[in-house]
Amino acid sequence: MVQQQSYDVVAITETWWDDSHSWSTALDGYKLFRRDRKGRRGRGMALYIREAFDTIGIETMDDGVECLCIRIKGKANKADILLVVCYCPPNQEEEVDSLFYKQLENVSGSLALVLVGNFNLPDII
């Protein structure tokens, strides 16, 4: 479906991937960025970005915040974009929420920010 629709960016949460899935995750024409959950099963994120884009993965602290940050370089005087995919588990502790906000502040700087993911906020309509 991704290749048929020719999407530029595809974000996936709750991949449940680990090193054993490396053989089956490639898509022709796309760069794959992923952040697997370490030490436990479940969760994880993946981001497919069309190869035509100049991208840089941004390392984030391993502090309980589950997010994947990619910088897409702008072309011809266009600003760079920070793309963040995140997963917030249900009933996440407020301390982790605060760490997440701090991490966003640290990586975004003055970049345009696109934030996507599963925030598990059922009361938002």
All structural domains of the chain:
2-118 (3.60.10.10)
Q: pLDDT tens digits, residue range 62-90?
A: 667 788 999 999 887 788 899 999 888 88
- What residues of the chain score a pLDDT lower than 50? none
Whole-angstrom CA distances from 48 to 2, 9, 64 are: 9, 6, 23
Please give the model's pTM, rounded to 2 decimal places: 0.79
- The pair of structure tokens assigned to 78 is 């266009």
Neighbour order of strands in the sheet with 45-50: 9-13, 45-50, 30-35
pLDDT score, position 71: 92
Neighbour order of strands in the sheet with 112-118: 55-58, 66-72, 81-87, 112-118
pLDDT score, position 41: 66
